Structure formats: C-alpha cells, structure tokens
C-alpha cells in the first residue's frame, strides 16, 4: 500500500473519531458547555474538568466537544448548499452555453472579485445584534454556503463545457435520447466526481471561514461554542501562556483541516 | 492585433459593469439592514418637532436604494464620495488615508509570499530531492490549516509586520499551485528534450520552463491579489492596523452605508482589474 493511501486511511480514522466525538458530545462531556464554575476560572486539567476551564470557568472539554458538533456538522451542510448552487448554475452555463453562460460566468466573476470575507462581514452585520445563538449559527453557515459557490461553479462549468462537446452526449442526442434521460444518465454521472471533490474541498474552507468570522465577533454567538469562538480565547496571550491547554481547539482545528487535505481525492482519481 | 484590442475593450466593459454592480450589491446589503435610517439625534428631548422633521427628511432623501445609488454615482463623477455616517468625515479623505496602508501591506505580502514560494518550488523542482519537497508540503499543509485570524494573533504575539502575516496566509496557496505548475512544465516533452541536450539549469528554467508555465502563473498572480485583500481584513482588524480591511470591518459593524459602498467599489475595482490584467496576459501568452 502506498504512503498516500496509508495517510488517507489514518486521516479518515481521525476524522471519523472527531465526528463521533462531536455527535456524542453529551456522553463525552459530563458538564454543560454553558455552566460557569465561578470558583475555578482558567483551572488546570483535573478529575472534574479533564481539559480545565476557560476564563469564565466553563468546562473546556464540554465546550470543545459541543463546538466540534457545531463546526463539523454545519460546515458540510454549508458545503452542500454551495455545491448545489455551483452544480446547478455551473451545469446550466456549461451545457447550455450562449447568453446564459455569459450571464452566469459574469455573476461568478463578480462574486469572486469581492473578497469573500468582506461580503460575509457585511452580510453578518446586517442581522440584529440580539439574535439567539442558534440563529447566529444558522445565519453564519447559510451565508457561507450561499456565498461560497463561485470557485466551485467555475470548475463545474469547465467540466460541463467539456462534456457538452463530448462524444457520449453527441451519440445520446443523435440516438434521440430525451433531455431528462441525458441529464440523469450521462451528465450527472460524469459531473459527480467533480461535484464530490468541490463539496469535499469546501468543508475545510468553511470551517476556517467560520473560525475567522467568530474570532472577529461576527460568527457563532456565545454561549454556544464553535471552534471559532473557542479560538477567541487565544487573544489573551498571558492566559494562554499560563494555561497552554487553551490551545486545544486550535490544535484540533489544524489536525482536522490537515486530515481533510489528505482525504481529498486525488485529481487523477476523479478524471 | 484587432482581436487583442477587442478583448481589452471587453475586459474594460466587464470591469466597469462589475464595479458598478459590486457597489450596488454593497449598497443593497446595508440599505436593508435592520435599523438603517434610525438617527439617535431624534431621541434628544431638546430638539423641536421641526428639527426632528428636518432630520427625518434628511434620511428620507436617502431612503430609496436606487435614488441613493444614482445620486452617489453622479457625485462620485465629480470626486465627491459623500460622508461617513459613523465617523462623520469625507469618505474620499478616509480612502486616501487608509488605501496606501493596505496597498503597502498587500504589495509586500504578495512579494514575500511569491518569493518564498518560488524559491522553495524551484529548489524542490531542480534538486528533485524528497526533503525539500516534503518540507514545502508540510509547511504549506500546516499554514493552510490556520485561520487568517489566528495568523493575525501570531503576528501580534511576535510583533511581526502586517505584510508578513499576509504573506503567511498567501504562501501555502501560492506554493502548492506554483509547485504543480512548474512540475507540469518541467515534465513537458520539449523540456525533456532540452535536458537531454545538456542545457544548463538556469537556461532551462529561463528559456523553457518559465515560458511554458507563465500563463497559469499570471492567472495565479491575479488571484493572489484578491486573496491578499481578503486576508487583510482579519489581520488589520485584529492587529489594529489603520487600513481598508480594518475600516471595512468597523464600517460593517457600524452599518455605515456610504462607507461600505465605497470600500466595496475600491476593493472590487482593484481585484477585478488585477484579474483582468492576468487574464489578458494569459490570453496573449496563448
């Protein structure tokens, strides 16, 4: 077995373990993520708090486990939304050509010209400041999904355009195959690897974007934890120096994003 | 020559259309924000009814999105970009003050990231040693996994300049693409033939590998300008650098419509111009 395959299997194992930890956060952590132990702020790991506490005395393990659930369940949902938008419009642009192609690609160009973070910040700031944490989570990830499609659209468009001129579609059309059947039997199976790759690529991007947004105070609202607002604790350098376990959310995020890079299907396997 | 001029014309048209659309999009986003048009001066009990009405009339004039946008465009042609509602200062002055700060950071950030990525990619390519390639892959794999805001905190901790933080965000993306592009060019039959003839490495690079890789590398340069502006927002915001990124963040938080619209236009203009230049260069090379 090649080194690449071994790394991919190890990464898959780590990702599955982290996903499971997020799903079973309640079992893993005995304390509530919002409960404050006011007598023990910034406490070191102990039997009661296995990863210590944050500056407000909240159990860090509980916050990390629930934050993992928020980040790792909603980032794929946002990636799915972005891939669906990219697949729909990229497919139409690539297959139909003409004016629809020009309009869709111009819209993608416009969206790509605006730095994603700038638009995200502006959009997030439109929401009232007193939204509930759950609404802030949904708003953050829906916004990410709704704005994260342009790069994927370009890739899907290129694949669909190649497909438009392919022999298989020409044969299908010449054979009198109805458009719906062409779409379902020829187009979608050929675009599936590209869509899958774009979906997979988008997940770590959205995890990182959420982290940055939350660190700027515009992502998931407290007291609900996410990897982003857990990282906000790193702004207090003296607390981090005294309690290095506060770096655990960053460590987990870096490991997960690196694992996603290893798991990403190689381009040659897709084509 | 004619198709080339026509292509430039098309790109300029697209540039104009995208810039206007970008500004309109920015205006729309903030115009429909909850609380837009509410003025805390109306709460002042010392104001008379006519003064309150005058304040409301002032906002009413700007209440329609299209009328607001059309008025803005006509004033912008004469160099008047309006006033920031939040800072109560002319926007042109704010842009003039902040734009050089960001441009300087972005420029040096791009130069540093590209120099490091190019040096490492070329070293890995010509040495064909696994150690350099692995070092580059590990470094880029680790750096790409860091959120921009964490890089900003690290820059703050180590008291590094803003451009270094921007280059740290850019480096992994640039390195990965660049390494692959150069490796693809290096494996082309014409380069293999040149190597077989015993051409020196410098000549091989300058005469064969780089010209082959130039078009996609130019496109990558265009994209990296957009990425650098995106990276500037969290870095300037968290490192308290008085640039456009910080201004955009604060303007969004304070729902300052005129300021956000102008910032959107400036950022859109710069990034679309960069991408168009790269695209034209790419087309010319082809």
Tokens for A34, please give them: 């919002």
3-state secondary structure B31-47: HCCCCCCCCHHHHCCCC
Cβ pair B227, B157 in contact under 8 A? no
Cis peptide before A223 (omega within 30 of 0): yes
Chain A positions in Cβ-Cβ contact with residue B230 (cut-off 8 Å): 115-118
pLDDT (0 to 100) of residue B63: 61
Strand ranges inside A45-94, DSSP E: none
Torsion sign across C-alpha atoms A44, A247, A18, A35? positive
> Tens of pLDDT along A153-193?
988 988 888 888 888 888 888 888 888 888 888 888 889 98
Cis peptide before A98 (omega within 30 of 0): no
pLDDT tens over chain B, length 286 residues? 566 677 777 777 777 776 677 667 666 665 666 566 666 667 777 777 787 777 777 666 656 667 767 776 777 777 777 788 788 888 888 988 999 999 999 999 999 999 999 998 888 887 777 777 788 888 888 999 999 999 999 999 999 999 999 999 999 999 988 988 888 888 888 888 888 888 888 888 888 888 888 888 887 888 888 889 888 988 998 999 999 889 988 887 777 777 877 787 788 778 777 777 776 766 655 5
B234 vs A: CB within 8 A: yes
Mean pLDDT, chain B, whole residue set:
81
Question: For residue A214, what is the nearest residue in chain B, using CA coordinates?
Answer: B149
Q: Cβ separation of A112 and B229 shorter than 8 Å?
A: no
Tokens for A209, please give them: 């974007």
Cβ pair A62, A29 in contact under 8 A? yes
> Tens of pLDDT along B181-232?
888 888 888 888 888 888 888 888 888 888 888 888 887 888 888 889 888 9
Cβ pair B239, B152 in contact under 8 A? yes
| Threshold 0.90, pTM exceeds | no
Chain B 266-285, CB below 8 Å of chain A: which residues? 267-268, 271-272, 275
Q: What pairs with residue A58 in β-bridges?
A: A36
Q: Over pLDDT 70: what percentage of chain A? A: 93
Cβ pair B172, B113 in contact under 8 A? no
Q: Say which residue the tokens 């409301």 belong to.
A: B56
Q: Cβ separation of A208 and B229 shorter than 8 Å?
A: no
Question: Which of A122, A215, A258 faces B149 most closely, judged by CB atoms?
Answer: A215
Question: Which of B18, B35, B264 faces A109 most closely, judged by CB atoms?
Answer: B18
A129 vs B: CB within 8 A: no
Helix-strand-coil split of chain A, %, nearest 5: 75, 0, 25
Query: Which of A56, A65, A108, A118 is closest to A86 using CA atoms?
Result: A108
ipTM: 0.83
- Contact partners, residue A103, CB within 8 Å, separation at least 6: none
Query: Which of A72, A80, A85 is closest to A207 using CA atoms?
Result: A72
Under DSSP, the state recorded for A58 is B
Cβ pair B47, B41 in contact under 8 A? yes
């Amino acid at each position: 077995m090649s080194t690449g395959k071994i790394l991919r299997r190890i990464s898959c194992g780590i990702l599955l373990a982290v996903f499971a930890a997020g799903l079973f956060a309640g079992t893993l952590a005995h304390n509530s993520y919002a409960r404050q132990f006011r007598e023990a702020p910034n406490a070191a790991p102990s039997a009661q708090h296995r990863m210590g506490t944050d500056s407000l005395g909240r159990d860090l393990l509980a916050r990390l486990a629930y934050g993992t659930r928020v980040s790792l369940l909603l980032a794929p949902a946002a990636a799915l939304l972005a891939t669906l938008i990219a697949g729909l419009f990229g497919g139409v642009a690539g297959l139909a050509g003409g004016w629809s192609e020009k309009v869709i690609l111009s819209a993608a160009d416009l969206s790509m010209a605006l730095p994603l973070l700038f638009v995200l910040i502006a959009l997030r700031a439109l929401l009232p400041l007193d939204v509930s944490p759950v609404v802030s989570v949904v708003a953050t990830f829906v916004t990410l999904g709704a704005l994260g499609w342009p790069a994927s659209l370009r890739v899907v468009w290129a694949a669909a355009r190649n497909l438009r001129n392919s022999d298989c579609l020409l044969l299908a059309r010449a054979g009198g195959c109805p458009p719906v059947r062409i779409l379902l039997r020829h187009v979608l199976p050929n675009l599936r690897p590209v869509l899958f790759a774009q979906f997979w690529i988008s997940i770590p991007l959205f995890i990182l974007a959420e982290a940055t947004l939350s660190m700027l105070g515009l992502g998931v609202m407290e007291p609900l934890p996410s990897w982003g607002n857990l990282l906000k604790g790193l702004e207090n350098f003296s607390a981090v120096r005294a309690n290095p376990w506060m770096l655990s959310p960053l460590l987990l995020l870096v490991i997960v994003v690196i694992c996603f890079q290893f798991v990403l299907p190689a381009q040659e396997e897709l084509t | 020559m004619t198709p080339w001029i026509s292509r430039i014309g098309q790109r300029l048209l697209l540039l104009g259309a995208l810039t206007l659309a970008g500004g309109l999009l920015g205006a729309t986003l903030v115009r429909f924000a909850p609380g837009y048009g509410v003025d805390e001066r109306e709460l002042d009990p010392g104001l008379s009814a006519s003064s309150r009405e005058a304040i409301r009339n002032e906002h009413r004039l700007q209440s329609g999105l299209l009328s607001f946008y059309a008025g803005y465009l006509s004033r912008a042609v004469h160099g008047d970009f309006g006033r920031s509602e939040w800072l109560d200062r002319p926007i042109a002055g704010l842009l003039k003050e902040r734009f050089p700060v960001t441009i300087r950071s972005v420029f040096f950030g791009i130069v540093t990231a590209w120099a490091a990525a190019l040096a490492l990619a070329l070293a890995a390519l010509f040495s064909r040693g696994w150690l350099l390639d692995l070092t580059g892959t590990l470094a880029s794999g680790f750096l790409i996994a860091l959120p921009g805001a964490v890089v900003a905190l690290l820059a703050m901790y180590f008291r590094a300049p803003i451009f270094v933080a921007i280059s740290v965000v850019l480096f992994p993306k640039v390195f990965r693409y660049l390494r692959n592009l150069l490796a693809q060019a290096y494996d082309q039959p014409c380069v293999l033939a040149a190597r077989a003839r015993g051409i020196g490495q410098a000549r091989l690079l300058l005469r064969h590998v780089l010209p082959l890789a130039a078009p996609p590398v130019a496109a990558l340069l265009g994209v990296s300008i957009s990425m650098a502006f995106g990276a500037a927002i969290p870095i300037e915001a968290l490192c308290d650098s008085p640039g456009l990124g910080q201004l955009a963040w604060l303007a969004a938080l304070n729902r300052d419509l005129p300021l956000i619209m102008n910032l959107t236009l400036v950022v859109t203009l710069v990034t679309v111009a960069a991408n168009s230049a790269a695209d034209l260069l790419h087309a010319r090379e082809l």
